[in-house]
């Protein structure tokens, strides 16, 4: 059974629309992350949360907003979608200790037309 659940697996959106990517983890981890990967760019860090608090944000655009309603939940809201946002978005989690490697979910593949 997958321990990090991302929904949906595939998503097609029109330019200018808004979408929410869902992530839940059942590993008891305290830290959660969002990464993005596309053909044009390597795996790119976006956000990190610890105990539902934003710890690091490397996303320049305010169109990307993480939302944490529960400790094991970190959604990603993307507004005013652009074709350049097309990518696979990975959620990851780890224990909140320095030497813990993030464990990745299976990703949401987003295509913006």
Partner 1 sequence: QQKVQQSPESLIVPEGGMASLNCTSSDRNVDYFWWYRQHSGKSPKMLMSIFSNGEKEEGRFTVHLNKASLHTSLHIRDSQPSDSALYLCAASKIGGYKVVFGSGTRLLVSP
Contact residues: partner 1, CB under 8 A = 31, 33, 35, 42-45, 48, 50, 55-56, 58, 90, 98-99, 101-107
From the number of C-beta atoms within 10 Å of its C-beta (0-12, 13-18, 19+), residue 28 rates as exposed
Q: 36 and 85 in contact (C-beta within 8 Å)?
A: no
Shortest Å distance, C-beta 113 to partner 1: 21
Query: Of 73 and 79, which CB lies nearer to partner 1 in the complex structure?
Result: 73
Distance of closest approach, residue 80 Cβ to partner 1, in angstroms: 25
For partner 1, give the closer residue by CB, 16 or 26. Answer: 26
Which residues does residue 44 pair with via DSSP β-bridges, in sequence order?
36
Tokens of residue 1, six digits = 């059974």
């Amino acid at each position: 059974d997958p321990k990090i659940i991302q929904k949906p697996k595939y998503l097609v959106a029109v330019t200018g629309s808004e979408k929410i990517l869902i992530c839940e983890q059942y590993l008891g981890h305290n830290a959660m992350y969002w990464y993005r990967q596309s053909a044009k760019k390597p795996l790119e860090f976006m956000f990190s949360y610890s105990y539902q608090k934003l710890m690091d944000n490397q996303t320049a655009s305010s169109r990307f907003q993480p939302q944490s309603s529960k400790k094991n939940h970190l959604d990603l809201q993307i507004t005013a979608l652009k074709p350049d946002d097309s990518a696979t978005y990975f959620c990851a989690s780890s224990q909140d200790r320095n030497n813990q490697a993030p464990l990745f979910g299976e990703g949401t593949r987003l295509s913006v037309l």
